[in-house]
Structure 1
Amino acid sequence: MTTRRQFIVRLGGIGIALAGLAAAGRSANAADSATAFIDDLGGKAISTLADKSVTDAERESRFRALFLSAFDVETIGQFVLGRYRRGATPEQIEEFNRLYAEDVVRTYSRRLSQYAGEKLVTLGSQPQDDETVVRSQILSPSGQKPVSIDWRLSKASGGFKVVDVVIENLSMRSAQREDFSSVMSAGGIDALIAGLRKKNPAS
């Protein structure tokens, strides 16, 4: 059984998964627009990773633009704040969204640098409630057991946005909601904002 600690470690695979998508090439189901969206996202991620002609700061900046264009930060933020969002001011929500996006960008831009040939194979998609789930697996070059990753997408203007990444049936947004709730239960949303600001002091 996957422990919570193992799940947090596996979250580091999201950046690698984005890179691995491109290595997989177009799947047989590439005509599916949701699957094609994930394939395209992977192609852009690997391009960011492979460009050694730019500085680390520029690579992080490019990944930030990719993340903000592909992930619905506002929707994810609403979910992870949960019931605490109702008592937050618009200014607090705006500041949380900014810091939250910066934290994710910095975390996974660093993870991209650890790409070591993993290959992510898309397995098709299916509607689920008001979202679309693209199923995939990460295949390790060392032959370890494949890791399943589901990409939950919502409809957006001109295509899709990622609203969750589910690794081995454990949700990124649900894990973050649990972690953030423990902070906010003690000190409210201001405590969470302060923690994110301390974690990313240059934000």
Structure 2
Amino acid sequence: MTRIPTNSTRRGVLGLIGGGAVWAAMPAHALNGNQAVALVSATVQEVLATVNSGRPAAQLYPAFERIFTRRADIDAMARAALGPAARQLGAQEFAAFRQAMSGYVSRKYGKRFQEFLGARIEIGAARQLKSFWTVDSTAYLRGQTPTKVEWHVSDRSGQARFFNLIIEGVNMLASEREEIGAMLARRRGDVRGLIADLQRAG
């Protein structure tokens, strides 16, 4: 069983907050703005098709997880969310954490995506920020003010994938680093306990 010192984990988590900070020092790849926009457009189409399918929530969440698996850099998101503690895990433990986080994120943000039932989403232009691209979008929900969603896209994994969302100013990756860091601290650094918590959360 891997037990991570909670004080060092907490410092690492708080020190990494900042959305794209993990990617800022990485070399740029061949990804361009058109490819970043294409990824976001394809992801949005899949999300809206899933939301508007009429399926019950129990079937929506696995569908959202499949979308995340295809379109998101889950490996990088998991490492960023866990912070320096990720380097102390063996391959099997990290794979288990990655899988648990994938389901957790899919359920958590799948609930938010369900608000997009009948929505129209406009995709804006892409802007390069150091080693990744940001793509703006606006969701027009029925009876609500428009919702701004910013997508951070990188090809660090070898393919164009998004690794962060900023929804109305709330940074998903920074929020998950804080939340997962707090969960790990409550478990006194017990990663297996953290994985069990993630499997139930969201």
TM over 0.5: yes
Amino acid at match of 1:166: I
- Is 1:148 paired with 2:148? yes
Q: Following superposition of structure 1 onto structure 2, how do residues 21-170 of structure 1 map, counting pairs within 5 Å?
A: 32-52=34-54, 57-142=58-143, 144=145, 146-155=146-155, 159-170=159-170
**How far apart in 2 are the matches of 1:55 and 1:139?**
23
Report the alpha carbon displacement of residue 158 of structure 1 after superposing the two structures with TM: 7.3
Whether the aligned pair in 1 keeps the contact of 2:138 and 2:149 (CA below 8 Å) is yes
Instruction: Quickly say closer, same or farther: Cα 1:182–1:113, change in 2 above 3 A.
Output: closer
Structure 2 residue ranges without an equivalent (≥5): 1-32
**How far apart in 1 are the matches of 2:116 and 2:199?**
28
Amino acid at match of 1:179: E
Whether the aligned pair in 2 keeps the contact of 1:72 and 1:162 (CA below 8 Å) is yes
Normalising to structure 2: TM-score of the pair? 0.71
Normalising to structure 1: TM-score of the pair? 0.71
**How far apart in 2 are the matches of 1:199 and 1:74?**
19
- Name the Cα RMSD after superposition: 2.6
Whether the aligned pair in 2 keeps the contact of 1:99 and 1:197 (CA below 8 Å) is yes
Report the alpha carbon displacement of residue 161 of structure 1 after superposing the two structures with TM: 0.5
SS of the residue corresponding to residue 37 of structure 2 reads helix
Instruction: Quickly say closer, same or farther: Cα 1:64–1:131, change in 2 above 3 A.
Output: same
Report the alpha carbon displacement of residue 137 of structure 1 after superposing the two structures with TM: 2.2
Whether the aligned pair in 2 keeps the contact of 1:84 and 1:184 (CA below 8 Å) is no
Identity %: 20
Structure with larger RCO (C-alpha < 8 A, sep 6+)? 2
